[in-house]
Amino acid sequence: MNMKIQAGVVGATGYAGAELCRILTGHPSAELAAVSSVSFEGKRLSEIYPSYYQMCEPVCGKQEEVVEKSDVIFAALPHGLSQELAAECDAKGKVFIDLGADFRLESEEEYKEWYGNSFLDAALHEKAVYGLPELFRDQIRGKKLIANPGCYTTAVPMALYPALEAGLIEKDGIIADCKSGVTGAGRKMTQNTHYPELNEAFTAYKVAAHRHTPEMEQTLSKAAGAPVKLTFVPHLLPVNRGILATCYARLKDGVTMEELLRVYHARYDGEYFVRLLPQGRVADIKNVWYSNFCDVSLHMDPRTNTFVAISAIDNMVKGAAGQAVQNMNLAFGLDETEGLRLFPPAF
């Protein structure tokens, strides 16, 4: 009898879906049961990603096959496409982990405002839990509907949560200045990700208007115990992978670096995937590539009483597929680190 968790990926040929397949192939307690792709139905995954040849070769089938054959279904789909699939999985008692945005926001009004969609089933949304394990682990364990946060919405809260939770920074005037690798834009070609446009360029986009803003504010408000608003400015880096979040906040009067370090250590010591860097080190995307780690460095500008918290993650792993597998591990009662213990390469 096969005791491994049967895992299925809907949307397996997008970047996040393909990364899920790569990680799940090496998972000791799970195996790929089925994958689907609308664009590449009938093709092997290695035909789309040649590096997977003889290593990860599932044939892309239909979505219904994935649901039927799997204990856990990962949906690597654009927003607006997961709600009906989640309802089907819920009715069948399957674990559903959504890498899209359909279940991340608690407020339907905010979902309408930022994504232009409504909740199809409010009761189903009530069942959903927000899958950022280092902050909400107890709510995730054993659950069957998990909203998996994305890249910015992981990196920014991980940088700021302990300081807000401890009341060491002001809730007003927070700035999240973030940089992303181009895989964050997905596999579909757009003008700004076309090589001649992207190469040797560095630009901001969706300035103070990115739809991840309310999701970050939702998480940070939980930390503060009161509403938090932030200014979020994302930038596109001419690199494949990585998120660097440089976050600025005003310190409360009298707060010292020693106090900040104490609360960050209290929150993150013992967290396998969070590396709080020694003073003098600065978080760098190169040091987290291909891993599920989040590196955090803390800095202070005493002249302006400004706190600077910097986090670095791989947007395809901790910011997508790796975190989804971390959530699967929690949902099935496995060691949280299973299948995710590889550390970043040196170069």
Report the catalytic residues.
Answer: 151
Sort strands 294-301 and 274-276 into parallel, antiparallel or unpaired. parallel
SS3 40: coil
Please give, one letter per residue, the 3-state secondary structure of 274-311.
EEECCCCCCCCHHHCCCCCCEEEEEEEECCCCEEEEEE
User: How big is the CA angle at 208 (ends 248 and 239), to the nearest 5 degrees?
Assistant: 75
74 backbone dihedrals φ, ψ, rounded to 5°:
-95, 125
Strand partners, 308: 248, 299
SS3 143: coil
Half-sphere exposure in the Cβ direction for 187 (13 Å, CA): 16
Residues in CB range of 336: below 8 A, 6 or more apart: 133, 137, 272, 326, 329, 330
CA distance 135 to 294: 13
Q: How far out from the chain centre does Cα 134 lie?
A: 12
CA distance 292 to 14: 19
- Element housing 86 (H / E): helix 83-91
Helices and strands of the chain, counted as H and E runs: 12, 14
Tokens of 195: 């090589």
CA distance 63 to 41: 10
Q: Tally Cβ neighbours within 10 Å of residue 345.
A: 10
